[in-house]
């Protein structure tokens, strides 16, 4: 089995906003200090997150994700308009903002402010993509180095479009922009993630936005691109069906793995061979990718693909979709996987 180099970004759509101003005040809440107070870079858990003021709102710029507009909750507290459970609380020291805390209670992360200026790299990288190609369902933006490559990329994207939308019983979704960056460095900067691992090659940057590195300069993990492009497009389709990225994560990544045909043999996993089946909620650290294909395949085999669609629409609520409890659901799935791939 190929190495499981599955550091694919969890790309989450949030409305991008343009322009700069800090004049607008939050509705129904009085802000005692300007948004610019919170602007800067914060080092958190080994990564740099940034807060900026755009279009009169405070926004979050996180590695590998589009800009997220924040809603003011009072005091020094904000929440994401996309994820209502994502809270950010700023700490003042000597009349200056010095720290931000995100998460709740034991799961909270703290970030120390390291600079007062921000760098929105994704915007700057667009200047490299001076060429455009339109197809029936995509707008591809690229640099001169991909003038020949872009036709094959466009053809593959159109093939995936028709196949994947047919599976989900959709006729169309809004035109998807595909940004093809000339090399890994510009791609990683184009997703506000400079210094990302080399195996990060593509990401869905929203319900109508895919970003990827050029196949000409994809590095030693180039083989992943043939899977990564349909994987990320499936995320876009998922967001058009239901606006709930990573909710639940096993379904979010499993559906993308299935549509990409990204199969890993479960017979090579010790816990599956020993029938020590994990719960779906426990799948992380790459296991959601390695088991994603066969989990969705098992759901299709047992209940039909309409059940997969309904699970997306109901954010993985098994009781609502199938009228069975979660444990029974998981037992049936893993028994199906075991009998199909291990007990031959």
C-alpha of 262 from chain center: 17
Residue carrying the six token digits 């899977």: 227
* pLDDT attached to residue 16: 33
Question: Which pLDDT tens digits describe the chain residue by residue (344 residues)?
Answer: 333 333 333 333 333 333 333 334 444 455 666 899 999 999 988 889 999 998 889 999 988 888 889 999 988 999 988 777 789 999 999 889 999 998 755 567 899 999 999 988 998 999 999 999 999 999 999 999 999 999 999 999 999 999 999 999 999 999 999 999 999 999 999 999 998 999 899 999 889 999 999 999 998 889 999 999 999 999 999 999 998 888 899 999 999 999 999 999 999 999 999 999 999 999 988 899 999 999 999 999 999 999 999 999 999 999 999 999 999 999 999 999 999 999 86
pLDDT at 247: 86
In 3D, which of 107, 124, 95 has the Cα closest to residue 191?
Answer: 124
Tokens of 303: 């209940």
Q: Which domains does the chain have, with CATH numbers?
A: 1-118 (2.40.128), 124-241 (3.40.30.160), 249-342 (no CATH)
Integer angstrom CA distances of residue 179 from 65, 143, 344: 14, 9, 44
Supply the pLDDT for residue 319: 97
Residue 285 has a pLDDT of 83
SS3 of residue 302 by DSSP: helix
E strand or H helix that includes residue 180: strand 176-181
pLDDT of residue 30: 58
Q: At a CB cut-off of 8 Å and minimum separation 6, what does 95 contact?
A: none
**What would the two tokens of residue 124 be?**
């700057």
Residue 50 near residue 193 (C-beta atoms within 8 A): no
Q: What is this structure's pTM?
A: 0.84
């Amino acid at each position: 089995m190929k190495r499981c180099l599955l550091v694919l970004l969890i790309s989450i759509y949030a409305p991008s906003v343009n322009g700069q101003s800090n004049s607008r005040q939050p509705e129904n809440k009085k802000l005692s200090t300007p948004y610019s107070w919170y602007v800067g870079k914060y080092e958190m858990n080994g990564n740099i997150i940034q807060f900026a003021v755009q279009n009169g709102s405070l926004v979050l710029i996180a590695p590998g994700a589009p800009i997220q507009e924040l809603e003011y909750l009072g005091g020094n507290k904000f929440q994401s308009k996309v994820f209502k459970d994502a809270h950010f609380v700023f700490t003042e020291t000597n009349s200056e903002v010095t720290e931000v805390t995100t998460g709740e209670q034991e799961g909270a992360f703290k970030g120390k402010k390291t600079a007062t200026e921000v760098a929105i790299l994704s915007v700057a990288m667009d200047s490299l993509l001076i060429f455009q190609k339109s197809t029936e369902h995509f707008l591809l933006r690229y640099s001169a180095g991909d003038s020949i490559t872009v036709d094959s990329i466009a053809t593959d994207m159109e093939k995936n479009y028709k196949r994947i939308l047919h599976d989900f019983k959709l006729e169309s979704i809004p035109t998807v922009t595909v940004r093809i960056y000339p090399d890994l460095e510009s791609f990683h900067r184009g997703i506000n993630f400079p210094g990302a691992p080399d195996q990060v090659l593509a990401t869905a940057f929203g319900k109508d936005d895919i970003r990827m590195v050029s196949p000409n300069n994809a590095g030693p993990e180039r083989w992943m691109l043939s899977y990564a492009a349909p994987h990320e497009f499936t995320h876009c389709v998922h967001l058009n069906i239901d606006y709930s990225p990573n909710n639940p994560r096993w379904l979010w990544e499993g559906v993308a793995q299935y549509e990409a045909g990204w199969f890993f043999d479960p017979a090579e996993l010790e816990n599956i061979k020993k029938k020590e089946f994990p719960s779906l909620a426990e799948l992380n650290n790459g296991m959601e990718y390695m088991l994603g294909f066969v989990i969705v395949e098992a759901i299709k085999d047992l209940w039909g693909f309409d059940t997969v669609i309904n699970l997306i629409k109901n954010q993985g609520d098994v009781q609502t979709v199938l009228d069975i409890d979660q444990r029974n659901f998981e037992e049936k799935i893993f028994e199906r996987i075991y009998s199909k791939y291990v007990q031959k």
